[in-house]
Amino acid sequence: MSERIIIFDTSLRDGEQALQASLSVKEKLQIALALERMNIDIMEVGFPISSPGDFNSVREISKVIKNTTICSLARCVDQDIDVAADAMSVLKDFRIHIFLGTSTLHISSKLKKSFDEIISMAVRSIKRAQRYTNDIEFSCEDAGRTPIDNLCKIVECAITAGATTINIPDTVGYTLPNQFGKIIKLLYQKVPNIDKAVISVHCHDDLGMAVGNSISAILFGARQIEGTMNGIGERAGNAALEEIIMAINLKKKELNVHTNIKTNEIYRTSKIISQICNMPISANKAIVGSNAFAHSSGIHQDGILKNRENYEIISPQVIGLKEVQLNLTSRSGRAAVKHRMKVMGYKENEYDINKLYTSFLKLADKKGQVFDYDLEALAFINNQEETPEFFQLEHFNIQSSSTGLAKASVTMICGKKILTKSSKTSNGPVNAIYKAINKISGYSMLLQKFQLLAKGKGKDALGQVDIIVEYKNRKFHGIGLATDIIESSAKAMIYVLNNIWRSNQVTLRLNKLS
């Protein structure tokens, strides 16, 4: 009989650690909702002790997500465990994930303790977590480099103490698939109470083996797989869940396992996470890359036209990839836009139809014809906006010459005030408009990254600008979308300003409470 593989997503914890800028609560909520729609079994949504922002995001996600188990990370430290439980206290059921280094290297150089002390710490922390929940996961950090006898001993003690899931991480991506599979095999052979817990694996991709190691672990008995969408994560990243899920889906007879994942949500979720996290997907990325279902060779094209199975082992529709364009114009009504969003897989509560339709009409007037990718991008950007925003772009005027000299005049709504500032620079129009915007905001910021992407094709393609700004030793991500590059650049900076303003408001409230 086929056994179920539990899919554990850590995009919002391990994945976020690798981002250039922290995500806002609203951005994390949108990712969490997308993961829930995919039917992810467990999502690890943060490390609450690490910051007030992380604590708050875990709490807010816990209030919204109903059909996926919420999990928080904690070290083997009493306060970590207590704070993790507090962050999820609105829930009746939740998971606490405790981790502790078990390799000789970690114990001696990082923790500076004996192995017996490590076992005592693990047992004590598991028992403390039992005050709050019966769903406890214990991770043997750097298990891939832990002597097998030591690994077996601490796993046995952790299960006896009450851990219901034991995670075996290849923390630094050190092992090969045959080596990692052997570790799982030996655990089942040597740990007497191994049947009392679910064995999980968490593989990193430093040698490009994360997915291979995960599949090898399944073959030897692992029944929970941890990873992230698009493989985002520390260093070279984590095991890419979309690859593992589709490998299981395609090879379920050989593996004799299955998942409960809604595979038709994979592509959409991948796109959302890529865009929110400002981490583009490589064109040749398996499953979700833009070339994954593209065919250039004449021989391949001929074979595909005769039978897609000649060169495709997966149907694009299985992962939710829709190839049909939508021809909408300014004459299209609100109902048509709403219907098309439903066809693309979006629910009404995931976007604001009023904002979307207003943006759609403006774009349709400029382009004449609006396609699926335009509509999706507009919905995404609108869904990121808070209502109301403190900073709003009223209008701007740019004068620029081929010498690089540019002048900008910007009018913005700032709360209840309307302010106008001007600037000039020899570094071009984008720099000029940014200088004017920053004069209005009064924030001392450093632009660290500016990236322009074309969303769509041809002269009417939307220009998406992604920026990273440093403010008071924190990095903020901004995104802007428009047919005009200057306008999309301005929108990206306004996006950043509102994130900074909200962050400052949180700090002020915390200061008042303290």
Q: Write the CB contacts of 11 (distance below 8 Å, at least 6 apart in sequence).
A: 31, 35, 43, 228, 229, 232, 273
The residue among 271 and 457 whose pLDDT is bigger is 271
- Residue 466 has phi, psi (to 5 degrees) of -115, 130
Q: Write the CB contacts of 198 (distance below 8 Å, at least 6 apart in sequence).
A: 6, 164, 165, 166, 223, 224
423 neighbors 396 (Cβ within 8 angstroms): no
211: Cα separation from own chain's centroid: 18
Q: Is pTM beyond 0.75 here? A: no
pLDDT digits (tens, 9 = 90+) for 429-440: 999 999 999 999
Beta bridge partners of 406: 400, 425
Mean pLDDT in residue range 468-477? 86
What Å distances lie between residue 395 and 181, 399, 434, 437, 450, CA to CA?
60, 14, 13, 11, 22
The pLDDT-based confidence of 296 (bands split at 50, 70, 90) is very low
What Å distances lie between residue 36 and 39, 90, 201, 276, 494, CA to CA?
5, 18, 21, 16, 30
Beta bridge partners of 482: 463
The pLDDT-based confidence of 302 (bands split at 50, 70, 90) is low
Mean pLDDT in residue range 53-57? 94
In eight-state DSSP terms, residue 20 is S
For the chain, give percent helix, strand, coil, nearest 5: 45, 20, 30
Cis omega (within 30 of 0) on the bond before 192? no
Q: Does domain 391-513 have CATH number 3.30.160.270?
A: yes
Residue ranges, comma separated, of all CATH 3.30.160.270 domains in the chain are 391-513
* Range 3-276: architecture per CATH: Alpha-Beta Barrel (3.20)
- Tell me the two tokens of residue 184: 């799982």
pLDDT digits (tens, 9 = 90+) for 311-327: 788 888 899 986 544 45
* Mean pLDDT for the chain overall: 89
Residue owning tokens 């400029």 = 366
- The type of residue at 414 is C
Mean pLDDT in residue range 188-207? 98
Strands (E) located in 309-416: 391-400, 406-414
Mean pLDDT in residue range 373-392? 64
Mean pLDDT in residue range 367-378? 65
The pLDDT-based confidence of 30 (bands split at 50, 70, 90) is very high
pLDDT digits (tens, 9 = 90+) for 72-127: 999 999 999 999 999 999 999 999 999 999 999 999 999 999 999 999 999 999 99
Crossing angle of helices 52-64 and 485-513, in 10° steps, is 100
Instruction: List the one residue out of 297, 184, 287, 306 whose CA is nearest residue 239.
Output: 287
CA dist 418 and 281 (Å) reads: 40
In eight-state DSSP terms, residue 472 is T
Residue ranges, comma separated, of all CATH 3.20.20.70 domains in the chain are 3-276
